Amino acid sequence: MRKLLLATTNRGKAREYRELLAGLPFVLTTLVDEGITLEVEESESSFEGNARLKATSYAVASGLITLADDSGLEVDALNGEPGVRSARYAGDNATDAERVVYLLNKLSTVPQGQRTAHFRCAIALAENREKVTVCHGSCDGVITFEAKGSGGFGYDPIFCFPEYGKTMAELSSEVKNQVSHRGRAAREVYKVLKHIVE
């Protein structure tokens, strides 16, 4: 069975991809599993640019079909911030909890009706440097006033789906994978991977 390299060191993200891509005839492996220590700096100005950069760099380094994503949160009241800087928004070494607090503080004076936000995800699948496919997914929600829920990671505890009345961190993984930005992009990637196998 062929290996598919997940170019991430984020355990939460790797776990989600194992659920999202279950049933494909690939062995999912990670940078840690493969002993790859190469660090690729996310220097592009778009989610797609960063995803492409990571996928091609790690595909060349590993010789494996590589999946890399870049995703983040765009808050309308902050003119689209944190955007591509979502992971580094509160500083390079901030924890998820610190990032959440930092963002909530920035929105402390923004009223209920003006807290709309969007999660965006670009997933790049690289067979080599030339052969790259990019799939996109997004979802819309509202930033809460406090963190709720223990599931997920990143900004999930403050991103609320009004139709469920729950944050992403309060949803079951089944529901989250249906409605999330990553889930939507991954369904497109699933089709591409099936095509590669066939």
> Burial letters for 92-125: b for 16+ Cβ neighbours within 10 Å, e otherwise?
eeeebeebbeebbebbeebeeeebebbbbbbbbb
Site of tokens 């100005």: 45
Of the candidates 137, 132, 136, the residue with the CA atom closest to the CA atom of residue 196: 132
Site of tokens 């799939």: 135
8-state DSSP, 82: B
Q: Which residues are catalytic?
A: 70
